[in-house]
Structure 1
Amino acid sequence: MNKLTLFFFTILFPITLFSTQLKYNIKENTNIEILAKSSIWKKLLYFDKKSEILTNEYFLSKKENLTLENELIKTINSYELNNTNNFNDNPICKFPARYYWLSKYIDFPKYAMINNKCDNLKQWSLIKDTQSLSAILVSGYLGNPASTFGHSFLKINTKNRENINNLFDLSINYGALVPENENILKYIFKGITGGYEAGFSDKYFYTQDLVYSNTEFRDMWEYEINLSKEEKNFLLLHLWEIIGNKFDYYFLDKNCGYRISQLLEVVVKEPILKNSQYWYAPVETFHQLEEINNKRKLDNKLFKNIKYIPSKQKKIYLHYQSLTSKEKAIVKKLKDKNSNLIKSEIKEFSPTTQINILDFLIDYFKYLEIKDEDNKKIIALKNKLLLLRLNLPIRKNKEIEVKNRVSPAKSNKPMILSLGTAYSKNRNFYSQLGFSVFAIESIGKNHLNSDQLVVLDTKLGIDNNKDYVFLDSFDLIKIKKLKTSQIDLDEDNLISWKLNIGTKRVEENDSNKYNSFIKADIGKAFKIDNLTSSFMINSTVQNLYPYLEFMPNIGIDMDFDKVKISAVYGLKLNPYNTQKNEYLKLDTQFNIINTFAISNSIEKDKQLQYSINLKWFF
C-alpha cells in the first residue's frame, strides 16, 4: 500500500464507517467523526471524559455503552422514531436542541424546529414569546454557606405586556436538592464532597426576587445577553431538554456559577469556564463575560444592557432619603405610635404630606415584617395604616431615583497572587509570596465597601540569604461585616461583627513560633460619606500564652475610589495579668486597574511588621 493510498484510507475510513450506520444522508462537507467530537455536541451532553448528567433518560444509548459517537448515531437514527404511546416521549420532542443543531449537517426529511406532533413543546410559549435572555448575578449572603460567595441564574425576558416589572418572566435556577431541616454541618460536608444531587429548575422571576431581594436583602445585577434569533432559539430548546435532569452538586466548583456558564457556552462562542478546575465562584462567570464584551467590536457586543436591581432594604433607604426634612422628622416621631395617634398627628398636614408619610410608613413596616415575620404588632399596625391610606386620594407611585451600583464583575477578580517585600525584627527584610483562593478585601475595589470575605489566604516568606521558605501566615477564613444604617430610625439596631480563623508566625525574643487562633469581634459601626468607623470588642482564643485575650478597638475604613485605607487600634487585655498591650494595624491599597494593585501593611503588636506587595487579581 503506497503512502497516497494509506492517506486516503485513513481519512475516509472513519467517514465510511459512520456513514454506513446512518439512516439519513449527510450534507456536503460534513464529517460525522468530527461532528461527534465537536465542542457543541460535548456541551449538549455535558461530556468530558464521561457525561456529568446522572439521569439515564437523558441519553438514547445505554449508560454502559455511552460514547459521543454512539449517542450521535442513535440521535440521528431516532429522528423518525415513534415507538411510544405518547408522541411527546419520542426523541424529536425530548431533544429538540440536538436536532436543531444536527439539521445543519444531516438531511432530515420534513424537519421543523418544533415538530407538529410535539404537543407539549408546542404549548411551551417561550419560543415565540421570548425577546431575550439575561444572566443574573446575586450578591453574597452570609446567612447561608452555599450563598456566601454569591449566586447566579438565567432570566428569560418575554414580551408579555401584562408582565409588570418582569416579575412573571421565567428564571432558570441551578441548585442542590437538599432535604428540609438538614443539619448545617451535614449540609456543608455533603455540599463540599458531592453528597447531593442537583438540577436546573424553572420558576417565575418573582420567586427569585422574593427570596434574594425581599427576604435576604441581596442586590442583583441583570446582564441582558445579545443573541441572534438562532442562538436564542437554540438555547431555549436546550433548556427544554435539560430541565429536570440530575447532576452531582459540588459547592466549591460544580455549583450554580459553573452550570450557568455551561448553559451560556452553548451559544457564546468564546470560552467562559477558564479557571474552573478546583474552585469556581459565581462572580467569575461575569468577570469573563465582561472580558468577552470588552474584546468584541462595537457592532457585536455581548451585552445589550446591564441593570442594577436594588434589594428591598436599599429601596427603603432610598425611599426614606426622598422624604423632606419635615417628613423625616414626623416619621421618626410617629413610627412607634398606634394608628389612631398617627391619624390625629398627620391630619393637620396637606394631603400630599400625609400620603408621603403613610406610604413610607407602610413600606417601612413591610420591611420590618420581613425581618420579623412573627411580630403580630407590626403586621396589625401595617394593616391599619393601609386603611388610613385608603381614605386619601389615589396617586401614582412616587418615582424614587435609584443610583446605579457598579456590578461586582467590574471590581477586582476574586483570586489573588501577590509578591513583595516584608520586614520583621528577626527576619529583617525578606521576600513575601501570597495567594488567596477567594478574596473580597475591605481595601480592595469591590461591591462590599468596607466589608470583607477572604478564604484560604496564604503568605510565604523567603529568606533571601539562606534560600529558606517559611509560612508567614495562613487564614482559613476572614470575615468583616459592618452593618451601618442609612435611615436614622431606632428600629435599625444593627450589630457589626468580624471572624478570623488562622495561624501566624510570631516572633518572641530570637525565636519564631506559630500561633493558631480564632478571633471574633462584635460591636457597632457608623458610616458618613466615604468613611466608616467601628467600635468593637475582640475575643481571641489561641494556642500560645496568653491563651485568651480581649481587645476593645476602634476601626476606620476610608474609600477614595482608587485608594482604600483600613485601620484598627486597640488595647489587648488578658485574665492572667493587668498588663495592657497596644495594637495597631494599618492597611492601604492603591488599585491601579481591576487586575493589579499595590498594597502596604503595617502591624504593631509586640513587634513591628511591615510589608509592601504587588497584587495580581485573576
Structure 2
Amino acid sequence: MPQRLLPWLALCACASLHATPQITESRLQALASQPYWLALGHYTPGKLGGWRSYVDDPKFFLAADGGENPEAELKATLKALYAPASLGDKQAQCVFPARTRWLKQQLRLSDLPQPQCKEFATWYTDINPHSTVLVFPAAYLNSPSSMFGHTLLRIDQADVDSNNTALLSYALNFGAYIEGMNNSILYAWKGLMGGYPGLFALVPYREKLSEYSRLENRDLWEYRLNLTAEETGRMIEHVWELKQVRFKYYFFDENCSFRLLELLEIARPGTRLTEHFPLTAIPTDTVRAVKNAGMIERIDYRPSREKELLARAEPLNRAEKRLARRLADDDKLLDGSEFKALPADRQALVQDTAFRLLRYRATGKERDELDAARSYQLLRAINRNPPPPLPVERPGQPEEGHQSRTWQLGAGSRDGRAFADYGLRMAYHDLEDNLYGFPLGAQIELGQLKLRQYEGNRWQLQRLDLVTIRSLTPRNELLQPLSWQVSSGWERVLGKHSDEHHDSLVAHLNGGAGGSWKVSDDLQAYALGTARIENNPDFAATIAPALGFDGGLLWRNGLGNLSLEAKGDYFHNGEVRRNLSLGQQFELSRNLGLRLSADREYSHLAGPINEVMLELRWYHY
C-alpha cells in the first residue's frame, strides 16, 4: 500500500467527518479519460495498450496500480481529499494542490475538509509566481554535454519588469540526478538507457545564470511566455506535487525539454506540445514547438562572458590585444610607457578587455588573492576612465535554424559507376548545413544511415554513423581553445577489392585535436592531429591503429557553406589512406539545402578513386 495513504486511512478508521460524494461510475470514467487528468498523472499510451505514467516513483500515486490505471488513481485521489483536516500537511489537498483544484472545478466539490497546508502555503508565497520565461542556454562548442542546448523555466514575480528583479526569480529545472563520479563512457551509456533518475528542482535564477553564462560560457535566450498569472500558478502547484518525485531521464527524449513541455500543458489546458516528440526531444525543436503554439510574446538575449570579452576586444588591433593579455597578467603595466602612450579612449578599451579576460580566466576557480588584487587595480583604472557601452551583436535565434532531422537523396558517380544515395540523420548539424542559428565550426551528428544503390540494382550499406562531433573553435590573441573531433560507426573505405566495385565496410573509432584560426569574418582554417582504430577485413589484425592529420578551410559565402578538407591515416601495418574533399551547400530555404560534393581517395590497397555527388537535404522533424 502506498505510504501516502497510511496516515489518513488510520484517522479515517477512527472517525470520518466528511463523506466522499457518490459519483456515478460513468462520470468517474469520463473524468479519468480527460486529457488534463492524464497530463496531471503524466500518462502516455502503453506500447501494448492501456496507459503508463512517465513517473517511476511509487510515492506519486495513491492507488496501488495508479501508474497504469488513471481511473483507479482518480478514485483514490477523490477519496483522499475527504480525509480529516487534522492530517495537516499530509492531507491529500496539501500534497496534491493541482489535482485538488481540478477535481473541485469538475465535480463542484463544496464540502471538502479545510486542512492547514502550511508547508505548501509558505513555499508558494516564497516563489510568488506571476509569469513564466522559457530559458534556452545555447550550445557551447567546447562542451560536449551542452552541444544540444538546454531548456529551463524562470518563474517571475509581478514586479520583475518594473523593478528589474529577474535575478530574484526562481529557475525551474529538470535534470539527471548523478550520485558520485561516472566516467564519460558510463555517463553517456546510462544517459542513453535511462540509467539516471530525473528530478525537478526550483533554485534561484541567479545560480543558473552563473552556471550557464559564466561557468559554461553559454549564451542565454529568454522567451517570455504569454501565460497568465493563473496559468503560471497552476503549473507551480503541480511542481509541488512533483517535489522529490523521480522520473527516468533519457538524453534524447524524456529529457529536460520534454518534461518542461509537460508542465506547459498543465499551465494551459488543451495545449498539445509533447505529441510532436515521439522519438527525440532536441531542445531547439521544443522551443520551436512552443513558439509555433503562439505562447511567446518577447525574446531577450544575454551574451556569455566569453562573447562579451570578444566583443569588447573586437575594436582593438593585434598589438592592443596582446597588451590587454599582458595587463591581465601584470596590472603594473598600467603605469608603463606602452600603455601610457595610447590615447585615453584606447586605454579605456584595453584595460576593460584586460579586466574581462582576468575575470574570464577566474571562472570556476577558487579565489586567488593575486588575481583579486589585479582585478581591483584594473577596476579602479576603469572607474577613472570608463569605456563606452559594450555592443554585443545578437546572433540568429536558435529556434529559427533548420530542424534537427535530415532526409537525404543524392545521385552521383564513383569512378565511372552511377549511384543513388538515400540517407537519414536523426540529429542534427554538420559543418556544411544551413548555418542560421548555428556557430560556424560546430558539428554534432547522431544516428546517420546512408544506403547506396549502384547500377544493376546493387544495394549496400554505405555508412552508419553512431556519433560525429567536431568543435572547431577559433583561437585568437586572447583565447586559445583546443579544437577537437570524435566519431564512431561503420563506413566504406578503399580496400583490396575496390577495383571489383566492392569497397570494404569497416568499424572505426577516431578522434583528433588541434587548432582553428579565423582568417576573416567568413573564413576559418583548422589543422588537427588524429588517431584511429579500425576493424577491417582486409587487415590481418582484428584492430588496426593509425595516426594521421585532418586540415581544411570553412568558408561562409553568398550561396551557403563551403568546406575544403584534406586528411590522411597512416596505419601501423603500412597501409596509407588519404582523402581530399570539397563540399558546397546551397541554402535553398531554412529547411532545404542542395549539396555538391567531390572526393578523391587514395589507398595503398587500391588505385585513386574519384567521386562526385549532388544531394538534396530536407531538414524535417
TM-score norm. by structure 1 comes to 0.83
Residue aligned with 2:273, SS: coil
Residue aligned with 1:616, SS: strand
**Partner in structure 1 of residue 446 of structure 2:** 455
Whether the 8 Å CA contact 1:287–1:413 is kept in 2: the answer is no
Residue aligned with 2:274, SS: coil
Residue aligned with 1:442, SS: coil
> CA, structure 1 residues 353+436, in 2 after alignment: closer, same or farther (shift >3 Å)?
closer
Q: Verify: 1:60 aligned to 2:62, yes or no.
A: yes
Whether the 8 Å CA contact 1:460–1:473 is kept in 2: the answer is yes
Whether the 8 Å CA contact 1:552–1:571 is kept in 2: the answer is yes
Q: Distance in 2 between matches of 1:515 and 1:576?
A: 16
**Partner in structure 1 of residue 281 of structure 2:** 280
- Further displaced range: 75-84 or 262-271: 75-84
Q: Verify: 1:331 aligned to 2:324, yes or no.
A: yes
Whether the 8 Å CA contact 1:126–1:158 is kept in 2: the answer is no
Listed as ranges, the matches of 1:79-94 within 5 Å are: 79-82=81-84, 84-85=86-87, 87-94=88-95
Listed as ranges, the matches of 1:70-85 within 5 Å are: 70-82=72-84, 84-85=86-87
AA partner of residue 516 (structure 1): A
Cα deviation for residue 158 of structure 1 reads 2.2
> CA, structure 1 residues 154+441, in 2 after alignment: closer, same or farther (shift >3 Å)?
same
**Partner in structure 2 of residue 414 of structure 1:** 404
- Further displaced range: 546-555 or 238-247: 546-555
Q: Distance in 1 between matches of 2:609 and 2:297?
A: 54
Whether the 8 Å CA contact 2:344–2:385 is kept in 1: the answer is no
> CA, structure 1 residues 131+465, in 2 after alignment: closer, same or farther (shift >3 Å)?
same
Q: Distance in 1 between matches of 2:358 and 2:67?
A: 60
> CA, structure 1 residues 609+126, in 2 after alignment: closer, same or farther (shift >3 Å)?
farther
**Partner in structure 1 of residue 565 of structure 2:** 568
Q: Verify: 1:151 aligned to 2:153, yes or no.
A: no
Residue aligned with 2:556, SS: strand
**Partner in structure 1 of residue 555 of structure 2:** 558
Q: Verify: 1:522 aligned to 2:513, yes or no.
A: yes
Q: Distance in 2 between matches of 1:163 and 1:380?
A: 36
Q: Deviations over 1:249-304 (max 9, x none)?
A: 223322112211211222353422235334332222113223333xxxxxxxx211
Q: Distance in 2 between matches of 1:78 and 1:575?
A: 71
Q: Verify: 1:588 aligned to 2:575, yes or no.
A: no
Residue aligned with 1:42, SS: helix
Q: Deviations over 1:368-427 (max 9, x none)?
A: 1127x2695xx513423404634775788853122212232211111111122132137x
AA partner of residue 251 (structure 1): F
**Partner in structure 2 of residue 604 of structure 1:** 600
> CA, structure 1 residues 388+273, in 2 after alignment: closer, same or farther (shift >3 Å)?
closer
Listed as ranges, the matches of 1:436-585 within 5 Å are: 436-446=425-435, 447-463=438-454, 465-466=456-457, 468-485=458-475, 488-489=477-478, 492-507=479-494, 508-512=498-502, 513-527=504-518, 528-544=520-536, 547=544, 549-560=546-557, 563-570=560-567, 583-585=579-581
The size of the alignment, in residue pairs, is 575
- Further displaced range: 588-597 or 599-608: 588-597
Q: Distance in 2 between matches of 1:562 and 1:226?
A: 37
Q: Verify: 1:366 aligned to 2:365, yes or no.
A: no
Cα deviation for residue 202 of structure 1 reads 0.7
**Partner in structure 1 of residue 138 of structure 2:** 139
AA partner of residue 609 (structure 2): Q
Residue aligned with 2:293, SS: helix
Cα deviation for residue 552 of structure 1 reads 4.1
Residue aligned with 1:534, SS: strand
Q: Distance in 2 between matches of 1:509 and 1:449?
A: 38
AA partner of residue 517 (structure 2): F
Cα deviation for residue 76 of structure 1 reads 2.9
Q: Verify: 1:215 aligned to 2:215, yes or no.
A: yes
> CA, structure 1 residues 145+584, in 2 after alignment: closer, same or farther (shift >3 Å)?
closer
Residue aligned with 2:133, SS: strand
Listed as ranges, the matches of 1:288-299 within 5 Å are: 288-293=289-294
Q: Distance in 2 between matches of 1:582 and 1:54?
A: 51
Listed as ranges, the matches of 1:13-412 within 5 Å are: 23-24=20-21, 31-48=27-44, 49-63=51-65, 67-82=69-84, 84-85=86-87, 87-109=88-110, 117-125=116-124, 129-140=128-139, 146-160=145-159, 166-268=166-268, 269-293=270-294, 302-321=295-314, 328=321, 330-332=323-325, 334-336=327-329, 338-345=330-337, 356-370=349-363, 373=365, 376=368, 380-387=370-377, 389-390=379-380, 393=383, 399-412=389-402
AA partner of residue 530 (structure 1): D
> CA, structure 1 residues 251+581, in 2 after alignment: closer, same or farther (shift >3 Å)?
closer
> CA, structure 1 residues 591+273, in 2 after alignment: closer, same or farther (shift >3 Å)?
farther
AA partner of residue 109 (structure 2): F
> CA, structure 1 residues 344+450, in 2 after alignment: closer, same or farther (shift >3 Å)?
closer
Cα deviation for residue 125 of structure 1 reads 4.7
Residue aligned with 1:370, SS: coil
Whether the 8 Å CA contact 2:581–2:599 is kept in 1: the answer is yes
Whether the 8 Å CA contact 1:517–1:543 is kept in 2: the answer is yes
> CA, structure 1 residues 80+399, in 2 after alignment: closer, same or farther (shift >3 Å)?
farther
AA partner of residue 524 (structure 1): G
Whether the 8 Å CA contact 1:134–1:155 is kept in 2: the answer is yes
**Partner in structure 2 of residue 8 of structure 1:** none
Q: Distance in 2 between matches of 1:50 and 1:386?
A: 58
Residue aligned with 1:526, SS: strand
> CA, structure 1 residues 186+497, in 2 after alignment: closer, same or farther (shift >3 Å)?
closer
Residue aligned with 1:103, SS: helix
Q: Distance in 1 between matches of 2:145 and 2:375?
A: 38
Whether the 8 Å CA contact 1:596–1:616 is kept in 2: the answer is yes
Q: Distance in 2 between matches of 1:354 and 1:165?
A: 34
- The alignment yields a C-alpha RMSD, in angstroms, of 3.4
> CA, structure 1 residues 538+600, in 2 after alignment: closer, same or farther (shift >3 Å)?
same
Whether the 8 Å CA contact 2:345–2:387 is kept in 1: the answer is no
Q: Deviations over 1:46-73 (max 9, x none)?
A: 1222222233332232347962122223
TM-score norm. by structure 2 comes to 0.83
Structure 2 gap segments, 5+ residues each: 1-17, 45-50, 602-607
Whether the 8 Å CA contact 1:351–1:392 is kept in 2: the answer is no
Whether the 8 Å CA contact 1:61–1:74 is kept in 2: the answer is yes
> CA, structure 1 residues 206+541, in 2 after alignment: closer, same or farther (shift >3 Å)?
same
> CA, structure 1 residues 556+25, in 2 after alignment: closer, same or farther (shift >3 Å)?
same
Cα deviation for residue 339 of structure 1 reads 3.0
Whether the 8 Å CA contact 1:362–1:382 is kept in 2: the answer is no
> CA, structure 1 residues 40+216, in 2 after alignment: closer, same or farther (shift >3 Å)?
same
Q: Deviations over 1:76-107 (max 9, x none)?
A: 3433422654x122121221111222233211
Q: Deviations over 1:304-332 (max 9, x none)?
A: 11222222111111222366999657525
Q: Distance in 2 between matches of 1:488 and 1:595?
A: 36
Cα deviation for residue 549 of structure 1 reads 4.8
> CA, structure 1 residues 561+57, in 2 after alignment: closer, same or farther (shift >3 Å)?
farther
2:615 to 604, 613, 616: 613
> CA, structure 1 residues 22+403, in 2 after alignment: closer, same or farther (shift >3 Å)?
farther
Cα deviation for residue 482 of structure 1 reads 0.8
Q: Distance in 2 between matches of 1:424 and 1:352?
A: 60
- Further displaced range: 407-416 or 61-70: 61-70
Structure 1 gap segments, 5+ residues each: 1-20, 294-301
Residue aligned with 1:167, SS: helix
Q: Deviations over 1:193-243 (max 9, x none)?
A: 222222101111122122221111122222211113432222121122223
Residue aligned with 1:259, SS: helix
Residue aligned with 1:386, SS: helix
